[in-house]
Amino acid sequence: MDSMKTLLYSYNLERLPGWSSVGKHLEKVTPSSLESKKDELIEAFGLKELVGYRFSQLSLGQQNRINLIRYLLQDFHMLIMDESLANVDELTREKILLKMKAMFPDAFFLYISHNVIEVSKFCQEILVLRDAGKVPQITKIEGQNYSVHRQIDKEKLEHTMLEVMNASS
């Protein structure tokens, strides 16, 4: 963590300027060193047909995916994702999370979500934050850290989800 120099924050409902196409905006913000990853991310995020559209013409889920790509195309050490995949269907979110883990194995992601299944399945460590009266409570739980190279144990996943649910109540 001491070598972490660049921290980025992506959140749900963040907006891009509406005067140019999504593709032109991504071209402008992508450093030349990460240019090769741009097309791969656009394809993996299911947005190839939409690069000619303006941001305002996209659905909320499509907008959130474009915003996330914009951050992934920056030079970062940690990306805080605050509901960054809200309004994206479950299968697409899973595909995106697996692709991110594969493409950025050395990056740190702080994934903020209310989706217990998703957090339990994909995260390595889970922090459940709750307000127990006047003193906030934080519970740390080991997640299943699912990736393309690991099988998911459904029984362990269910156990993790129960731990998360019990910690939040």
Fold of the domain spanning 1-113: Rossmann fold (3.40.50)
pLDDT, tens digit (0-9, with 9 covering 90-100), for 90-134: 999 999 999 999 999 999 999 999 899 999 999 999 999 887 677
Joined together, the tokens standing for residue 78 give: 């940690």
Nearest in space to 159 (alpha carbons), one of 120, 127, 125: 120
At a CB cut-off of 8 Å and minimum separation 6, what does 147 contact?
98, 101, 102
- Interatomic CA distance for residues 18 and 125, integer angstroms: 37
pLDDT at res. 1: 53
- Interatomic CA distance for residues 110 and 119, integer angstroms: 11
Mean pLDDT, rounded, for 63-83:
94
Strands 135-142 and 108-112: unpaired
pLDDT at res. 61: 93
- Interatomic CA distance for residues 53 and 64, integer angstroms: 14
pTM above 0.85, yes or no: yes
Q: Where are the domains of the chain?
A: 1-113, 114-169
pLDDT at res. 168: 79
SS3 152: coil
Identify the bridge partners of residue 139 per DSSP, sorted by sequence position.
Answer: 128
- Interatomic CA distance for residues 28 and 15, integer angstroms: 16
**Other C-beta atoms lying within 10 Å of the C-beta of residue 18:** 10
Q: Which residue has the higher pLDDT, 148 or 124?
A: 124
* pLDDT > 70 fraction of the chain, expressed in percent and rounded: 97
Q: Which residue has the higher pLDDT, 97 or 152?
A: 97
